[in-house]
Chains A and B, each alone.
Chain A
Amino acid sequence: MTEPILSVRNLQVEFASRRGTLRAIDGVSFDIAKGEVLGVVGESGAGKSVTGLAVIGLIDPPGRIAGGEIHLAGLRIDNLPPEEMRRIRGKRIGMIFQDPLTSLNPLYRVGDQIIETIRTHLNLSETAARRRAIDLLAEVGIPAPEKRIDGYPHEFSGGMRQRVVIALAICAEPELIIADEPTTALDVSVQAQIISLIKRLGRDHGTAVMLVTHDMGVIAETSDRVAVMYAGRVAEIGPVQDVVKNPLHPYAKGLMGAIPTLAGDDKRLMQIPGSMPRLSAIPRGCSFNPRCAFVFDRCRVDRPEPLPRGAQSVACHLYDSVPAESAA
């Protein structure tokens, strides 16, 4: 197996607060291979976005990476000096944020923002950068790019602005794109276009994509693999068909059971009782234990470590010391 583009090992992110240190990410590990799309899914506050920010090195104080390692194509990047990390951001890792309406600086033409980014990372002349910016806008599907390049952000619709944001994220041909809820703020019809655009770009350029979302539909459509996060940990990770069709972790089962089907059968959707614990009150043992239907004594004491189950990996005591055949 070739070396993954992104490799996160036992990542821990902490936020210092008045009531003590809160651990937002606690021992998260995953890999993303070249050209692969990893979906990261979970409830609000599960640590999806923080994981993305940690990878690109934008965790702001009072937050900090407290432990673990992040490798980008073999290079350890979690402990780089700020200036070296800055050179990686935008050049080797591109990021797309949730709200395209606020991601662009309203006072600058979109072209100037793209050209500025290109010239920060690539040694190009103003005219060459402008040509490249027009090509990029064309590539992300903006009609008449040579005219639109001189438009201001407010002259673009939400979907078009997200395309501009994507053009900005890919303008230096990064190896990895982190898309943090890229479609949440968009209309459903536009969502599909943006998703297929991200997918196409990943395929055409061999870019690895980390797609953070809480929308299982988006994950199922786009991702090769999916990581289910809960309370700062990865509950389950595996190929998307496996996790969607045959979720192992009780929390993942709950999530998949909560997706409405188009068949329209009148059965009530499954629902997970309770809500995710606050960071200041994460229970001992498995953080899911107070809400879990299969909870037993060990879950309240020991923290489950990820266990490989075929192509999947699950952090649940149900699967510990049980032979793979008799499980599920």
Chain B
Amino acid sequence: MLAFTLRRAVQAIGVMFAVGIIAFSMFRFAGDPVNQIVSIDTSAAEREAVRKSLGLDDPVPVQFVRYFADAAQFKFGVSYQFRQPVSTLLMERMPATLELAICATVFAMVFGILMGVYSALRRDTMLAKLFQAVSLIGISLPTFLIGILLIYLFAVTLGWLPSFGRGEVVKLGWWSTGLLTLSGLKALIMPSITLGLFQMTLIMRLVRAEMLEVLRTDYIRFARARGLTTRAIHFGHALKNTLIPVITVAGLQFGSVIAFSIITETVFQWPGMGLLFVQAVQNVDIPIMAAYLLMVSLIFVTINLVVDILYTVVDPRLRATVGRAT
């Protein structure tokens, strides 16, 4: 088990190394960084001085090693537009993005699983058919449109919820949270739904399909033949087997939720990493773009690792094969 975890961790470092190369090459290919820093009328001598002070005249491999060593310590250089360390900027905005992503995922999991189980067990009811129809909309409507529709309905027409921002936030150490104030919670509702709706419909459809599949298996028939209660069969035996693929999808989707919160954050002007990234793209702020790439990759890789480990917790069969393979 430990060897398995270690092996996966080594693989994860390999992936991060590859992403590091891509992030680094952004500096080389997206124009001359010196031009981004200095003004138009800077003399050539001054330019060279800046180049030297930033270490940009060193051989490329040396620069790469330096960049990677810095990145490993979460030092991503200084933002061109904000003139602040990128890591500080990311740290400031990460709580907003993570809170949004976690709320969206919890929303997607809770409602996705409930609706999926319901529509599998009560396949022929009107409500189940309604869920199916709604899920089709959720899967096919683009995120920004859902966001705009929600804003139009609940912020503009009804005036119940704020249309942008995080509301009041409370500082807990370096972490700023919107979960402790009423306005923060209200501000969280619409972005979470917007961001989580696609995942919710995905999970719902997945749970429904898996549950129907599992309910047809021999061990469920045998469980019924043993006279177990319907509740024990559905929620003990069937649901646990259903959740294995759901863990994978929900886990991997959590990475995309963070990555694609860019759109939701833009629609709701949510002060998170995604919004920072969009601003960085507009201003060719390469240090931020490269750092964002690295951060998102790190999150993806970490989640993959956690999902792999979670698997073995849920499914004893994997524990055995993992044990044998090591």
Contacts and interface: CB of A to CB of B under 8 A. Distances in A.
Contact of B229 (A88, A105, A108, A120): A120
A155 B241 CA distance: 18
Interface stretch (A17-25, A89-97, A211-219, A250-258): A89-97
B224 interface: yes
Contact of A88 (B217, B223, B227): B227
A152 interface: yes
Contact of A154 (B232, B241, B316): B316
Contacts of A91: 227
A89 B227 contact: yes
Contacts of B316: 106-107, 109, 152, 154
Contact of B222 (A88, A103, A106, A109): A103
A58 B215 CA distance: 13
B226 A120 contact: yes
Contact of A58 (B225, B237, B317, B320): B225
Interface string A74-98: 0000000000001111110011010
A322 to B, nearest CB: 43
Contact of A102 (B219, B228, B236, B314): B219
**Chain A CB within 10 Å — which of B226, B228, B236, B314 has the most?**
B226
Interface string A166-191: 00110000000000000000000000
A106 B314 CA distance: 10
B181 to A, nearest CB: 42
B218 to A, nearest CB: 4
Main secondary structure of the interface of B (DSSP, over half): helix
Contacts of A95: 222, 225-226
Given A102-B218, A107-B241, A90 B226 contact: yes
B249 to A, nearest CB: 18
A146 interface: no
A165 interface: yes
Interface in A287-312: none
Given A97-B218, A116-B232, A120-B232, A106 B225 contact: no
Contacts of A106: 219, 241, 315-317
Nearest to A101: B218
B47 to A, nearest CB: 65
Contacts of B221: 58, 97
B227 A107 contact: no
A47 B286 CA distance: 72
A148 interface: no
A86 B227 contact: yes
B240 interface: yes
Interface in A40-73: 56, 58
A121 interface: yes
A208 interface: no
A154 B320 contact: yes
29 contacts: A86-B224, A86-B227, A86-B229, A89-B227, A90-B225, A90-B227, A90-B228, A91-B227, A94-B226, A95-B225, A97-B221, A97-B222, A97-B225, A99-B218, A103-B218, A103-B219, A104-B219, A105-B223, A105-B241, A106-B241, A106-B316, A107-B315, A108-B237, A120-B226, A120-B229, A121-B227, A154-B317, A155-B320, A169-B226
Question: 4 smallest A-B Cβ distances: which pairs?
Answer: A90-B227, A89-B227, A95-B225, A102-B218
Given A90-B226, A120-B232, A154-B317, 9 more contacts: A86-B227, A91-B227, A95-B222, A97-B221, A105-B223, A107-B241, A108-B240, A109-B316, A116-B232
